[in-house]
Amino acid sequence: MSKRLFGTDGVRGLANELITPSMALELAQAASIVLGFNTVKKGARPKAVIAHDSRISGEFIGSAMMAGFAASGVDVWDAGMVPTPAAAYLVSATDADFGVMISASHNPAEDNGIKFLARGGKKLDDSLEDSIEKLFKEKDFRAPIGGEVGRIRPLADGEDRYITHLLSTMPEHRRLNGLTVVLDCANGAASGVSPDAFRTLGAQVIVLAAEPDGTNINDGVGSTHPEKLQAAVVKHGADMGIAHDGDADRCLAVDEQGNMVDGDKIMSILAVAMKDAGRLKDNTLVATVMSSLGLELYLKEQGIKLERTSVGDRYVLESMNANGFNLGGEQSGHVIMSDYATTGDGVLTGLHLAAEVAHTGLPLSELAARMQPTPQKLINVKGVDRDGVKDSVALQDAVTEAEKELGESGRVLLRPSGTEPLVRVMVEAADQETADSVAQRLADVVTAELSL
């Protein structure tokens, strides 16, 4: 059985090795039918929005895809370099039939990816991806001639329209006047958008890593390398810092003391603020099984329920869409505010976090300290049968015993890897020593029971 082309977040791989110009062109031809001609009224010409981050390979991949769309009879709006959430917004704002974002997010510059967006700027479900992949392999494409081919036009005001949208999400009285914010744009797609948005709302902005050259995206900067940001916040006496990744679909924060503020803490601050304002749907936050027990316990004290999903922002989004919840995310800083966005949006998240600091008049360190993560230990047990976790009676008994020992102050999570012979053992407890000892005990059982 051949490997599926689409992964958890589109097609990802080494540019010009997996993602070649011919592959990108044919993938665009397949998507033109599945997302375009199969969905529009007969005789109508589909419209698509295309965008990319700052990787140099995004230029040839984007050119190939635009050629594939136009050759199939699809009109294309080229938004150029904008964040992933901007591309999603522009698909909706222009009433396009679908869109595509070319990015590999926080990965190195040599990698790239192709992520399709359905009408409204929403992620594709598996069935649509499967249909595109099937047609891509069959190569039964459209080949119109004459005036039936598509046109390619620049979406020259795409970045400005996105910034206007970001500003519109802020209540009139929420300004950032008086705040000094350091922004690390990862030499990526947020390099223009994020500083402009923060400055327009009144913040004094110090910018790092906002000079993309096509090869320096995520290179020692951004949310995966926040050390320079932490130092800059302290050096300049700033109120806070925001670290984006290459396509700005997530962010992490730094408080005024230079300490990291992860996605769990960001979500705790936003959830309480939204609840107090009467805007948190069903007083519920959606997060994955990896979010700290400390987050769950803190939210419970605040009268907020935590709805947990499998790991991955797509599962968070599925739960939000199915139940009408409007706030969710991951520890990694991928936060979804669905009142304003169809995907994680690091600039949007950063603006609303900064607005809460300005509104309360409290330092970010104090707001973040209200939620204390539970001590945690994670052990990756390698060389084991990951599929045997649910079948081992001895392992299940060991987990049950550990859960009784931990009580309400801790929890156990066993996660088989989806790609390699490995089982992740995660334990949270009231203290680090207990978390370490229980995790090691369970890891020993995994090794004894499931070794290959």
Among 377, 397, 399, 396, smallest CA distance to 388 is for 396
Tokens linked to 279: 């805007």
Q: Which residues pair with 207 in a beta bridge?
A: 183
What residues pair up with 181 in beta bridges, in sequence order? 205, 240
- Residue 47 three-state SS: strand
Angle at 297 between CA 296 and CA 299, to 5 degrees: 65
C-alpha torsion angle, residues 340, 344, 345, 350 (rounded to 10)? 100
Asked if residue 245 belongs to a known ligand binding site, the reply is yes
Residue 323, both tokens: 């139940």
- Residue length, the chain? 452
72 is in an annotated binding site: no
How many C-beta atoms surround the C-beta of residue 145 within 10 A? 7
Q: For residues 418 and 335, what is the distance between their CA atoms, to the nearest angstrom?
A: 23
User: Which residues are known to be catalytic?
Assistant: 105
Q: Where does residue 352 rank: exposed (0-12), middle (13-18), buried (19+ CB within 10 A)?
A: buried
Find the angle CA(53)-CA(72)-CA(45) to the nearest 5 degrees: 95
- Cβ density class 115-139: b for 16+ within 10 Å, e for less: bbbbbebbbbeeebbebbbebbeee
Give the CA dihedral 145, 146, 148, 152, nearest 10 degrees.
100
The helices-and-strands tally (H runs, E runs) of the chain is 14, 19
Residue of 118, 121, 124 lying closest to 10 (CA atoms):
124
Task: Give the CA count within 13 Å in the CB-facing half-sphere of 54.
Answer: 26
**Known binding residues for Mg(2+):** 105, 245, 247, 249
**Known binding residues:** 105, 245, 247, 249
